[in-house]
Chains A and B, each alone.
Chain A
Amino acid sequence: MFAAAAQYLVSGLTVGATYGLTGLGFTMIFNTTGIINFAQGEFVMLGGMMSVFFRTWLGLDLFSAILLAVAVTALVGAAMERLTIRPIQGSSPINLVIATIGVSILIRGAAMLLWGKDTFSLPPFGGTAPIPLFGAAVQPQSLWALAITLALLTALKLFFSASIHGKAMLACACNRKAAHLMGISVARMSLFSFALSAFTGAVGGAILAPITMTSYDVGMMLGLKGFAACILGGLGNPFGAAVGGLLIGIMESFGAGYVSSAYKDAFAFVVLLLLLFVRPSGLFGKSGAERV
């Protein structure tokens, strides 16, 4: 009984790490540009699929393949900002969102043409022998996923608090006009946030690919879960999004284990809805959004 719970917790945290990284990506773009980027899930898909592609077709070793995949995805993010978001940046929010939906359809379509409709998997990063932990058998890949997520979060935290670019991004998040007056190039920050979000999402995709398999169409559900993660954490709060992602992963895993695996995807959304009814701006959101 306890062993089962521990097992669910670990697998929930593992998947939740990817949701959290996806949600983090949503938040970074939202903070600097005010846009909800519906192509975020496609970045995650690209991270996984390109890792597979670079490994098998180019014959790279696993880590080079992942590094290259993550870098290329970041470039895709930057290109997306340059080609579709920048030209219409003054447009209404709903138009910008629809542009991101168009891009997500494009990326998904391109992935389908390039790699077909099959599912692929990536070998685990190291070791396959399960590690016993509180009666649960933990796959080493889970530990890899959590460790990488933690490392990335720490790096981002340092980046935001210590580097000049990170501080500039935070300033944009607080007040875009003021940031602009302070001489921060909001346009460059926007480009940068897309690249960084794509990077983060791609890492999330790469760490998940050995566990759940990947295909051209995994991006949509992952994107929605990531969106749910950042809403759960409170929109605009990057680390709230990461926590939100972990929580959604855990809820799903327990829901699947104890209630019904068929309703696995519904479970997280039901809880999210109930939470929003009680706390209209998420767990860590400012209640300002609620005021009349």
Chain B
Amino acid sequence: MRPWYARNLAKAAFFATALFLAPFFLPNEYYINILILGGINALIALGLNLLLGYAGQISLGHAAFFGLAAYATAVATTRLGLPIPVGMGLGVSLSALVAWLIGMPTLRLRGHYLAMATLGFGIIVHIVMNETVEVTGGPSGFVGIPRLALLGFSFDSDRSYYYLVAAVLALAALFSLNLIDSRVGRALRAIHTSESAAQTAGVDIAGYKLFVFVLSAAFAGVAGVLYAHFLCFVAPSSFGFHFSVQLVVMVVLGGMASVWGAMAGAFFLTALPEALRGFEEVDILIYGAILVACVMYMPMGMAGAAAGVWRRIGRLRRGRVPGQGEGGHVG
């Protein structure tokens, strides 16, 4: 057996291998695009999962952090002529900074009030993106963002870009797993269940909420800069309320408080519209119906459903009811 503290490293390595092999099973290169976008969405979902799935704090404005970073690096690398890595750093920092500023007053709110406040924040940012035409290009979008090049290597091919996104995603997954399997993760889950009990255990709930909010915004920021330098074009319509809701759906559909579930939900919801493209106009109806069906038939999300299947297999194989396994939550 590997030592306990390296367990997550093994899981992440396995995941990285799977991501590495995925392109070889694709029928054609077009699907690489979807994988890249799925990976970028999975990155945001990972961060949102820390906030929503673990700490139990909703954000209906996460698309804003994704968009702020994308626009920041877009402006920095074109209008300001800064090098791409600097632009990306600025983008992520801007998302984190805005999250910190908005998080301080907002995270005092609870439940639906928090949902409303984050929603309102997202809408305000979205409107500003639409209206500050001199900076963002307005509704028609921002063109001419340079494709990513780092340390003299330019990620011109989609395949190379995919491997970059995959590497970042695997690292982010490892980061999340390790964070959760530590006192920080326990504190976050404690806040989710009972704030008073968390306080009496010495957990600074305001501090941790702000920390995880900023962290999840930073995840969205990393996704945002990767997005901008991949498509080389950004428009406000990608960063509206609709996308914020979609992000929440990814986390919930994947399975709250599961790193793998959040990523699975993200890849699933990214690929679904593509898969439904053949249905022409009724695709939106099918999409809505699938959403409703998922929450009706998989109340614990994909991770919960998978865990159920796994338990059943185990029971069949051992031919008896299994004892309590290791780890109380789906890692």
Chain A residues in contact with chain B, CB under 8 A?
Answer: 30, 36, 38, 84, 87-88, 91-92, 94-96, 98-99, 101-106, 108-110, 112-113, 220, 224, 227-228, 231, 235, 262-263, 265-266, 269-270, 272-273, 276-277, 280-282, 289-290, 292
**Residues of A contacting B116 with CB < 8 Å?**
227-228, 231, 272, 276
Contacts A/B (CB < 8 Å), 10 sampled: A36-B115, A94-B58, A106-B289, A113-B281, A227-B116, A231-B112, A263-B131, A266-B128, A272-B120, A280-B109
CB A283 to nearest CB in B, in angstroms, measures 12
* Residue among A108, A228, A265, A280 with most chain B CB within 10 A: A280
Interface pair B131/A109, CB less than 8 Å apart: no
Interface pair A289/B111, CB less than 8 Å apart: yes
Interface pair B120/A102, CB less than 8 Å apart: no
Interface pair A270/B124, CB less than 8 Å apart: yes
CB B236 to nearest CB in A, in angstroms, measures 13
Instruction: Verify if B36 is at the interface (C-beta below 8 Å from A).
Output: no
Instruction: Verify if B282 is at the interface (C-beta below 8 Å from A).
Output: yes
Checking B117, B119, B241, B253 against A98 with a beta-carbon cut-off of 8 angstroms, the contacting residue is: B253
**Residues of A contacting B42 with CB < 8 Å?**
none
Interface pair A106/B282, CB less than 8 Å apart: no
Interface pair B131/A101, CB less than 8 Å apart: no
Q: Chain A interface mostly helix, strand, loop or mixed?
A: helix
A37 to B287, CA, bound (A): 19
A231 to B114, CA, bound (A): 10
CB B297 to nearest CB in A, in angstroms, measures 9
Encode B102-140 as 1/0 by CB contact (under 8 A) with A.
Answer: 000110111111011101110110011001000000000
Interface pair B120/A99, CB less than 8 Å apart: no
Instruction: Verify if B303 is at the interface (C-beta below 8 Å from A).
Output: no
**Residues of B contacting A224 with CB < 8 Å?**
119, 123, 241
Instruction: Verify if B259 is at the interface (C-beta below 8 Å from A).
Output: no
Supposing A266-B123, A266-B127, A280-B108 touch, asked if A102 and B117 sit within 8 A by C-beta, the answer is: no
CB A36 to nearest CB in B, in angstroms, measures 6
Query: Interface size on B (CB < 8 Å)?
Result: 44
Interface pair A262/B112, CB less than 8 Å apart: no
Interface pair B291/A105, CB less than 8 Å apart: yes
Interface pair B117/A276, CB less than 8 Å apart: yes
A272 to B109, CA, bound (A): 13
**Residues of B contacting A99 with CB < 8 Å?**
291-292, 295-296
Tell me the nearest residue of chain B to A91, going by C-beta.
B299
CB B97 to nearest CB in A, in angstroms, measures 18
Q: A101-B291, A273-B106 are in contact. List 20 more A-B contacts (CB 8 A).
A: A38-B245, A87-B296, A88-B296, A92-B299, A94-B248, A101-B245, A102-B295, A103-B288, A105-B284, A105-B288, A105-B291, A106-B285, A109-B282, A235-B112, A266-B127, A276-B109, A276-B116, A277-B106, A281-B113, A282-B113
> 3 nearest interchain CB pairs?
A102-B291, A105-B288, A109-B284
Encode B270-286 as 1/0 by CB contact (under 8 A) with A.
Answer: 00000000000110110
Checking B128, B249, B282, B290 against A101 with a beta-carbon cut-off of 8 angstroms, the contacting residue is: B249
Interface pair B119/A227, CB less than 8 Å apart: yes
Supposing A272-B120, A282-B113 touch, asked if A112 and B284 sit within 8 A by C-beta, the answer is: yes
Supposing A98-B253, A231-B112 touch, asked if A265 and B123 sit within 8 A by C-beta, the answer is: yes
Instruction: Verify if B188 is at the interface (C-beta below 8 Å from A).
Output: no
**Residues of A contacting B106 with CB < 8 Å?**
273, 276-277
Checking A88, A95, A108, A269 against B120 with a beta-carbon cut-off of 8 angstroms, the contacting residue is: A269
Instruction: Verify if B173 is at the interface (C-beta below 8 Å from A).
Output: no
**Residues of A contacting B196 with CB < 8 Å?**
292
Instruction: Verify if B68 is at the interface (C-beta below 8 Å from A).
Output: no
Instruction: Verify if B43 is at the interface (C-beta below 8 Å from A).
Output: no
Interface pair B291/A84, CB less than 8 Å apart: no
Checking A105, A106, A220, A276 against B113 with a beta-carbon cut-off of 8 angstroms, the contacting residue is: A276
